[in-house]
Amino acid sequence: MISSKKIVTMGQQFGFDLIGLIPAKPSADSKYLEEWLKRGYAGGMNWIRRVKKKRLNPLEIFPEAKSIVLIGINYYLQDLPDEIKNDPARGIIARYAWVEDYHKLVLKKLREFTQELSGILKQKVNYKAYVDTGPTLERELARQAGLGFIGNNTNLINHQLGSYLFLGEIFLDVDLRSYIPKIIGSCGTCQKCMNACPTGALVDKKILDARKCISYLTIELKGEIPKELRPLIKNRIFGCDICQEVCPWNSKAKPTSFFKAVGENGHFRLREKEIAPPLLELAGLSEAEFKERFKENSVLRAKYSGLMRNVAVALGNWGSKQALIGIEHLLNNSNPLVKSHAFWAKKQILL
Ligand code: B12
Ligand code: SF4
Ligand code: SF4
């Protein structure tokens, strides 16, 4: 049998910062997901409920699976100066979207890795690979594989790299020797993330009510953002990193080298324009311009109507008459969702 060390070294050559190998078996921690769903914390993400059985048991996804390779890729690039982060005239985009959409690229790397593994094993390997794209519990699998611990902010945290990590996995129909690094670190008595969350979405240690989470409200929610939550979102227009930014484990984060390693042809580059774009510039985008500007970027997931809805909320939160130019633009948008949020925003400024 191939040594696990050899597989880990190979993974590192592919640019994976963290790697662990575990046997494919049902999750022993099903109670957290069951309880989370029962309490309604998934909000409108019915797709999580629909594939619950698969999430709890890798063998439901791929019955021939014998082993799982878990990987983590550091995506930390830089911090935003406070004067930009707190500038109400700008919309803040979550860090994971500061680069080209990672899903496709990391999946490609996982496939290439599997091909090379198949070559070394001298046998055909059947597999399924996912990066946020499959019905799996990636944080839980990554924890089992020793990539890190689950923090009170619900993120998987590695003691050396912090939590700005993309997680991915490959289910393989071959038996591999396990490789499970010892997990170091914990939250201890810290609760900084819970205190910093503007909407109180971290309702308990390691428990997130997605219905209140800015990431859910600005990306996954397709309808109206509840009025009482709108002022708390401030200028976050796509995702949210607050509970990670305050985390002491991220003070040690080092800039990633992954993007440089895979960024030939400028494919995976920092999109400086999309870190904190001016709200007035975004409010003026047509749907075609939106699609062109955010092509190959995770922001597309919010769709045009979702991003314009979020921009309307941020304009309302700006609180300055200067925001009215953008709001007027959005009041003319043909989408009723955008219009209604723009109407709310206008009231915030004028009342
Ligand atoms: C749905 C989803 C969301 C939802 C819900 C998030 C949530 N906390 O459940 C929303 C839209 C809010 C979201 C937001 C974000 N997400 Co998201 N999301 C997912 C997705 C698709 C499924 C997660 C899921 O099943 N949630 C259900 C809950 C129950 O499970 P869980 O959080 O995964 O794991 C819990 C259980 O294992 C349980 N648990 C385990 N042990 C113990 C012990 C005790 C005592 C307790 C009480 C609980 C417990 O607690 C864990 C944490 O809640 C995964 C990809 C995947 N397939 O896994 C990405 C994923 C989790 N997201 C990711 C990221 C990057 C984000 C954001 C940072 C994006 C952003 N900047 O806006 C935020 C972070 C918000 C936050 N604090 O969680 C990464 C996480 C990387 C990491 N280091 O952990 C993932 C893995 C995607 C990826 N492949 O990189 N996300
Ligand atoms: S992502 Fe933002 S809103 Fe969601 S739990 Fe973290 S701090 Fe709260
Ligand atoms: S901020 Fe503190 S409590 Fe929250 S995840 Fe980090 S260490 Fe844990």
Choosing from 17, 132, 173, 204, the catalytic residue is 132
Count CA atoms closer than 13 A to 222's CA, side-chain side: 5
Atom number of ligand 3 nearest to Cα 196: 1
pLDDT for residue 258: 80
Q: Are 210 and 40 in contact (CB under 8 A)?
A: no
- Beta bridge partners, 35, equal none
Cβ-Cβ contacts under 8 Å for 258 (sequence gap 6 or more)? 15, 17, 73, 74, 75, 268
pLDDT for 263 equals: 54
80 φ/ψ sector (left φ>0, alpha ψ -120 to 50, else beta): beta
**Domain boundaries in the chain?**
4-172
96, 102 in Cβ contact below 8 A? yes
pLDDT band at 257; cut points 50, 70, 90: confident
Ligand 3, residue 151: give the atom nearest the CA: 5
Q: Which ligand is nearest to the CA of 166?
A: 1
Average pLDDT of the chain to the nearest whole number: 94
Distance (Å, whole) CA 243 – CA 22: 29
- pLDDT tens-digit series, residues 293-334: 999 899 999 999 999 999 999 999 999 999 999 999 999 999
| Separation of CA 203 and ligand 3 centre (Å) | 14
Among candidate residues 219, 169, 165, 213, the one with its CA nearest the CA of residue 193: 213
| 3-state secondary structure (DSSP) of residue 90 | strand
CA 113/CA 328 separation, integer angstroms: 51
Q: What is the pLDDT of residue 186?
A: 98
pTM higher than the cut 0.95 = yes
243 in Cβ contact with 197 (< 8 Å): yes
What pLDDT score was predicted for residue 268?
Answer: 64
**In angstroms, what is the span from residue 23 Cα to ligand 3's centroid?**
29
The maximal CA–CA distance of the chain, rounded, in angstroms, is: 71
Verify whether residue 79 is a known catalytic residue: no
pLDDT, mean of residues 58-86:
94
Give, as one character, the DSSP assignment of residue 207. E
pLDDT at 262 over 70: no
Q: What gap in Å lies between CA 201 and CA 147, rounded to an integer? A: 25
> Does 75 sit in the ligand 1 pocket, CB within 6 Å?
no
Using pLDDT thresholds of 50, 70 and 90, give the confidence band for residue 267: low
Nearest-CA residue for atom 32 of ligand 1: 154
Ligand 2 centroid, distance to 36 Cα (angstroms): 16
Predicted local distance difference test score (pLDDT) of residue 243: 98
Q: What percent of the chain has pLDDT over 90?
A: 85
219 lines ligand 2 (CB under 6 A): no
Which amino acid, 115?
Q
